[in-house]
Amino acid sequence: MPKNTAIEKILVIGSGPIVIGQAAEFDYSGTQACQSLKEEGYTVILANSNPATIMTDNTVADKVYMEPLTVEFLTKIIRKEKPDALLPTLGGQTGLNLAMTLEKSGVLKKYNVTLLGSSLEAIEKAEDREQFRNLMNEINEPVPESSIVHTVEEAVDFANEIGYPLIVRPAYTLGGTGGGMCYNKEELMEITKNGLSLSPVNQCLIERNIAGYKEIEYEVIRDKNDQAIVICNMENVDPVGIHTGDSIVVAPSQTLSDREYHLLRNASLKIIRALQIEGGCNVQLALDPYSFNYYVIEVNPRVSRSSALASKATGYPIAKVASKIAVGYTLDEIINPITGKTYAMFEPALDYVVSKLPRFPFDKFNRGDRTLGTQMKATGEVMGIGRNFEEALLKGIRSLESGTEELWLRSLVKEEKDVLVKRLKKADDERIFVIAEAFRRGMTVEELFDLTKIDRFFLEKIHNLIEFEMEIKVNRFSKDIVEKAKEFGVADAQIARLWGVTLDEVYEFRVQEKITPVYKMVDTCAAEFESETPYFYSTYEEENESIVSDRKKILVLGSGPIRIGQGIEFDYATVHSVLAIKEMGYEAIIMNNNPETVSTDFSVSDKLYFEPLTLEDVMHVVNLEKPEGVIVQFGGQTAINLAAGLERRGVQLLGTSLESIDRAEDRDKFEELLDELDLLRPTGKAVRKLDQAIDVAKNIGYPVLVRPSYVIGGSKMEIVYSDEELQNYLQKSDKVDPEHPILIDKYLTGIEVEVDAISDGETTIIPGIMEHIERAGVHSGDSMAVYPPQRISQTVKEKCLSAAKLISEALAVKGLINIQFIIRDEDVYILEVNPRASRTIPFLSKITGVTMANIATKCILGTKLVDLGYETGILPEQDLVSVKIPVFSFEKLRSVDTILGPEMKSTGEAIGYDKTLEKALYKGLIASGIKIPQEGGVLLTVADKDKEEVREIAERFDQLGFQLYATKGTAEYLGQFAIPVTKVEKVGSTKPNVLSTIESGHVQFVINTLNSGKKTRSDGFLIRRQSVEHGIPCLTNLDTANAILNVIDSTTFSAKPMTDKEVVVL
């Protein structure tokens, strides 16, 4: 049946900013959807507020609206564009929820917009717990006993009926936000209360706990002819109880017999048919390990994180096929793009094992609650492909970049056995390593099974790996052992550790013994049909299928898993680099391991190697492909970290040289460089001994910025205001390592400005300068950035340009360079130089229209900017004001402090653009999920150093008609100036106190600042968490507060009396 010709224009809704539970996977699916629809001749209108995505490139859709994803703005877009149809199922939960609201509010009907893919009823049946349960009962599919509650009392009543343990699942929240497992009444009451407040419909499901069951997922697809198939099934290594986003997952299932496989397959197909979905759907099931009993846990009537994974795991492009189905095609009409010969109507056959491992943010949030449960906490994921489970798992471990390339963590070696046992019982983010360590201590598979309920199949495999470790250890430089080790996926790094030799020694031994991998193709059909997909993974077997062409090739290294500090922005740059390389006529080869991304879509590059990004794995590809060189500047720190090793092994690095990178990153060399160029920087010194620190800080003068040298994303960086605070800091960072001294810099409070420049070493262009709203001290990734700058003079801009030019020339930059400045009294201080693609590349590219990664890649490959028509300078500023607003996932991460500082904490970003700064900020803030109220209350509780500054803020809120609340000190201070303020009691006092005030809903904003010293569980911490828990923005920086105030001011009209025009002399 041919495509739907009744429609011409289709609106696609994206998923907005990246948050935990909704990451790059929706950029991948959205991009595929848009391309797939355009391919069919439809006009595609895209709405997404996330500028870091590929899908918001103007080449992906016909028209892109980077407007807030709210009903208000979507209605405006619909009114303007008059689309015939809306495709709601590719933008994650955000897109789906929005489409539902648009349909319910009658907007779609009013403008004659048809919903494609799933009907509103279908979506509701799947999403609304009660309707879902009713449907399951109707079609005879079992669901765990449960009750829908709207109050805590109802939850307790149900618990009295069926007993504990129970699971609480709030309705309509992302990634299970606010849910959790409860073993007693207290826990049930707390979690339910929290869940009800987070659920937009104040609804929670209380469910029988089936923890310990096997958790199995099926990705299914159905077309309008009721043809339905399974693309992939996946088995969670962690049984039911841990969110699937936080579980280690394997595909296909490993421990299910054909009968079990088809029992669950039949159930999944029955469900998608009952829901009448035309497109993709994800069904999560729980299977009793001791019988054929199973339960349906959840259904997502849309493309999901799991479907992105399934697409990469099988090669079957689910989003692409789902979009074609949405416009009327049937599965038997769509060609399987992998084979090009067969049809989309088939279930992929895998001849390899896939592992998915979650990437957690606890390297940044080491004080956060690390236990795993029904609330997803991972920010990203990696995938490993191997011809056995061990290889797939260990590739996944290597890809995580968590400081180890094996199932071994140094920190666990000293851990007591009973601590390990405890950590096995209550899983945390390091579970897989704890399991390995437990085996090293002689624990048995049975013991671990009792503690973890992980299937013995997986435990046996890990146990074997640990036993094999001993064999490696005692057989130094044995060819047989290394061969076997490599078949198991063991990294050179592990062999090196066990042998007590260097990485290079193992590598050389291996090369000499010719123990190197071959590459196999991911072809959806287990080699049954001939395929030409350029999608490969390595393994240690006989036949290599990756045929090397005779074209000139460039290898681009991707950025690995999404984590705090290294997000989707780097995938954006990577993809653009690949496209530029293709444009230049080279063969573009990419290596990456993140299944969520566009860069790992095999149709983007000429060749995709889905591999870990370690020196070992990159060398294997380099040795096979012999590229002209390797580009490392787009893959974030992941790729940059590989540069030194690659150069050491004789690989040609393209772009800015390693020596230059080092000059920018090494503190001493960097200082020399700036001195040489006569550029200003905040005074500072590196100290190698603790006792020197206080003296140095005194000399420089407080406040100072302290941090260890060679830091990434601002980790362990703090601003300290006194000797005492400095001492606190030093105590926490246990000992100073002479290799990596502590850096103490003058903390300058000026305007922070950021520049991304492109240079070929001779010409340097600045597409745009961005000014940060927050003063220096807040990590650039967490600050709001404004383009074009609003507060700096032309002279300052010229100074920035000249500095960028000098530095680029001195470093012989080829490609991108990011420079951060502090502007103080028209002076320009250099804070940081990163000779690589930065987080702001996609934002800047989109608002200036300069395709920065593309041009930079051309520079890397030898094109001169002059030849492209550029000369050194700042490109003309655009008329519109654009802002980048950071987005955080604090509500998902319990016990993580929300205070902003030099350490980055945001997970994503939203954009706002309009004619004025206030309008742009308004849109950006709305897009980031902050509500801008016209009236209400504000709670102020600030540190002494900020009191003077907060006075004006308080006055302005008062004038706008906001009710002010403040804690004792702040209230007293404001009282002096006759500002009306209600004093609230401190934490722990009888109610109403500060926490109950937040809880009561009287305040719309909390403004809280703190002195340094990071006291855990301080009152301030509790206040900040209380705000997050109740969805109230907590502003920890006064500049942020002022910006929001300006926005409120510009959108509110306050009643003002006429004032006399007389001069008041005080």
Tokens read off for 1010: 């703190």
- Name the nearest CA neighbour of 753 among 814, 800, 717, 718: 800
Tokens read off for 438: 């437990």
Stretch that binds another protein, among 346-354, 359-367, 507-515, 887-895 (CB under 8 A): 346-354
- Asked if 532 is part of the footprint of another protein (rule: CB under 8 A), the reply reads no
- Asked if 317 is part of the footprint of another protein (rule: CB under 8 A), the reply reads no
Among 351, 467, 672, 798, binds another protein (CB under 8 A): 351
| CA pair distance 563, 596, nearest whole angstrom | 12
- Residue 833 neighbours by CB under 8 Å, 6+ apart: 664, 670, 807, 811, 817, 818, 819, 820
Window 838-877: contact mask with another protein (x via CB under 8 A): ----------------------------------------
Minimum separation from the CB atom of position 235 to another protein (A): 10
| CA pair distance 396, 355, nearest whole angstrom | 7
The residue count for binding another protein (CB under 8 A) is: 52
Residue 169 half-sphere exposure toward CB, CA atoms < 13 A: 25
Which of 259, 410 has the CB closer to another protein?
259
Minimum separation from the CB atom of position 356 to another protein (A): 17
- Asked if 281 is part of the footprint of another protein (rule: CB under 8 A), the reply reads no
Minimum separation from the CB atom of position 266 to another protein (A): 6
In degrees and rounded to multiples of 5, residue 385 shows phi and psi of -115, 130
Stretch that binds another protein, among 260-268, 410-418, 561-569, 1044-1052 (CB under 8 A): 260-268
- Asked if 528 is part of the footprint of another protein (rule: CB under 8 A), the reply reads yes
Residue 178 half-sphere exposure toward CB, CA atoms < 13 A: 26
- Asked if 258 is part of the footprint of another protein (rule: CB under 8 A), the reply reads yes
Among 350, 394, 964, 979, binds another protein (CB under 8 A): 350
Minimum separation from the CB atom of position 257 to another protein (A): 5
Minimum separation from the CB atom of position 487 to another protein (A): 9
| CA pair distance 251, 356, nearest whole angstrom | 8
Among 262, 688, 689, 864, binds another protein (CB under 8 A): 262
- Asked if 140 is part of the footprint of another protein (rule: CB under 8 A), the reply reads no
| H helical segments located in 777-820 | 794-810
Minimum separation from the CB atom of position 461 to another protein (A): 9
Looking at residue 892, the DSSP 8-state letter turns out to be G
Residue 272: what residue type? I
Minimum separation from the CB atom of position 853 to another protein (A): 36
Question: Do residues 34 and 55 lie in contact, with contact meaning Cβ atoms separated by under 8 Å?
Answer: yes
The Cβ of residue 15 has, within 10 Å, a number of other Cβ atoms equal to 30
Q: Which DSSP helix (H) or strand (E) runs through 940?
A: strand 937-941
- Provide the angle, in degrees to the nearest 10, between the axes of the packed helices 947-959 and 968-975: 70
Buried b (16+ CB within 10 A) or exposed e, 355-390: bbbbbbbbbbbeebebbbbbbbbbbbbbbbbbbbbb
Tokens read off for 248: 């280690």
Among 352, 439, 602, 610, binds another protein (CB under 8 A): 352
Which of 249, 927 has the CB closer to another protein?
249
Which of 389, 586 has the CB closer to another protein?
389
Looking at residue 877, the DSSP 8-state letter turns out to be P
- Name the nearest CA neighbour of 883 among 837, 930, 836, 826: 930
- Asked if 131 is part of the footprint of another protein (rule: CB under 8 A), the reply reads no
| CA pair distance 289, 62, nearest whole angstrom | 50
Task: Please report where in the chains the tokens 């999560």 appear, as a residue.
Answer: 284
Minimum separation from the CB atom of position 268 to another protein (A): 12
Among 346, 509, 536, 634, binds another protein (CB under 8 A): 346
Among 5, 6, 161, 259, binds another protein (CB under 8 A): 259
| CA pair distance 283, 267, nearest whole angstrom | 9
Among positions 431-460, residues that touch another protein (CB under 8 A) are 455-457, 460
Minimum separation from the CB atom of position 229 to another protein (A): 6
Among 135, 181, 240, 353, binds another protein (CB under 8 A): 353
Minimum separation from the CB atom of position 344 to another protein (A): 9
Which of 204, 331 has the CB closer to another protein?
331
- Asked if 229 is part of the footprint of another protein (rule: CB under 8 A), the reply reads yes
Among 101, 119, 202, 227, binds another protein (CB under 8 A): 227
Residue 1051: what residue type? T
Question: Measured in Å, how far apart are the chain's first and last C-alpha atoms?
Answer: 83
Minimum separation from the CB atom of position 289 to another protein (A): 6
Which of 335, 419 has the CB closer to another protein?
335
3-class SS of residue 1042: helix
| CA pair distance 742, 453, nearest whole angstrom | 45
Among positions 563-602, residues that touch another protein (CB under 8 A) are none
Among 101, 114, 202, 342, binds another protein (CB under 8 A): 342
- Asked if 520 is part of the footprint of another protein (rule: CB under 8 A), the reply reads yes
Stretch that binds another protein, among 25-33, 84-92, 382-390, 584-592 (CB under 8 A): 382-390
Window 14-53: contact mask with another protein (x via CB under 8 A): ----------------------------------------
Q: What is the dihedral of CA 235, 237, 239, 240, to 10 degrees?
A: -50
Among 24, 136, 338, 525, binds another protein (CB under 8 A): 525
Stretch that binds another protein, among 335-343, 636-644, 839-847, 857-865 (CB under 8 A): 335-343
* Cα–Cα–Cα angle for 93, 282, 9, rounded to 5 degrees: 55
- Residue 271 neighbours by CB under 8 Å, 6+ apart: 136, 139, 141, 220, 281, 283, 296, 299
Question: Do residues 601 and 942 lie in contact, with contact meaning Cβ atoms separated by under 8 Å?
Answer: no
Among 289, 701, 849, 873, binds another protein (CB under 8 A): 289
- Asked if 349 is part of the footprint of another protein (rule: CB under 8 A), the reply reads yes
Which of 252, 1020 has the CB closer to another protein?
252
3-class SS of residue 573: helix
Which of 266, 549 has the CB closer to another protein?
266
| CA pair distance 380, 889, nearest whole angstrom | 13
- Name the nearest CA neighbour of 236 among 272, 287, 300: 287
- Asked if 480 is part of the footprint of another protein (rule: CB under 8 A), the reply reads no
Minimum separation from the CB atom of position 388 to another protein (A): 5
Task: Please report where in the chains the tokens 């922070």 appear, as a residue.
Answer: 752
Among 88, 92, 179, 252, binds another protein (CB under 8 A): 252
Which of 253, 941 has the CB closer to another protein?
253
Looking at residue 970, the DSSP 8-state letter turns out to be H
Among 72, 161, 186, 542, binds another protein (CB under 8 A): 542
Stretch that binds another protein, among 219-227, 851-859, 867-875, 967-975 (CB under 8 A): 219-227
- Asked if 388 is part of the footprint of another protein (rule: CB under 8 A), the reply reads yes
- Asked if 429 is part of the footprint of another protein (rule: CB under 8 A), the reply reads no
Minimum separation from the CB atom of position 355 to another protein (A): 13
- Asked if 257 is part of the footprint of another protein (rule: CB under 8 A), the reply reads yes
Phi-psi region of 1014 (alpha: psi -120 to 50; beta: other; left: phi over 0): left
- Name the nearest CA neighbour of 288 among 239, 340, 230: 239
Residue 709: what residue type? S
- Asked if 345 is part of the footprint of another protein (rule: CB under 8 A), the reply reads yes
Residue 438 half-sphere exposure toward CB, CA atoms < 13 A: 27
3-class SS of residue 252: coil
Give the residues lining the site for another protein (CB under 8 A): 225-227, 229, 252-259, 261-262, 265-266, 269, 289-291, 330-332, 341-343, 345-353, 387-389, 455-457, 460, 520, 525-530, 541-543
